[in-house]
Amino acid sequence: MKTKSLLVIKPDAVKDKKIGRIIQTLEENRFEIKGIRMKRFTKEEAEEFYSPHKGKHFFEKLVNFIISGEVVGILVEKENAIEKLRELIGDTDPEKARCGTIRYMFGKSITENAVHAADSEESFNREVTFFF
């Protein structure tokens, strides 16, 4: 059964003009694009979006980074979309990401790692409301 997932292109990749190449990578991997929205998170929204990481040493840095510019939310559909999209984005740390993954291609560091993707159905249901 086809399911949906959410990819967020982060401010580093937007500033580096990688939106087009990231969408191309999604389409080449047979994700259907169901919605696209660009926005800038407020600090409050960013803290809510990343609330599962509250209390971690990198939380403040993460929030400050995600509000530093525009982000692009992309709603995608595919068989097993959540798992398949996590595979396609690669390891959180671009240095460890497999060749061919989005973070391998466009990520620069563990903070500036180009994209975020929902990691479970619960996360997807929560995160999608920030964009659609």
Question: Given the rule CB under 6 A, which residues bind ligand CMP?
Answer: 53, 58, 62, 92, 110-111, 113, 116
Catalytic (active site) residue 116: yes
d(CA 87, CA 103) in angstroms, rounded, equals 11
Q: How far is the CB of 24 from ligand CMP (least distance, A)?
A: 21
**Cα angle 3, 32, 99; round to 5:** 95
Of 5 and 113, which has the nearer Cβ to ligand CMP? 113
Which residues contact residue 56 at a Cβ distance below 8 angstroms, ignoring those fewer than 6 apart? Answer: none
Q: How far is the CB of 102 from ligand CMP (least distance, A)?
A: 11
Of 2 and 116, which has the nearer Cβ to ligand CMP? 116
| Sign of CA pseudo-dihedral 15, 20, 22, 23 | positive
Of 1 and 118, which has the nearer Cβ to ligand CMP? 118
Q: What's phi and psi for 96, nearest 5 deg?
A: -100, -5
Q: How far is the CB of 111 from ligand CMP (least distance, A)?
A: 5
Of 23 and 114, which has the nearer Cβ to ligand CMP? 114
Q: What's phi and psi for 115, nearest 5 deg?
A: -145, 160
16 with 106: CB under 8 angstroms?
A: yes
Active-site residue (options: 9, 97, 116, 127): 116
Q: How far is the CB of 61 from ligand CMP (least distance, A)?
A: 6
Q: Active-site residue numbers?
A: 116
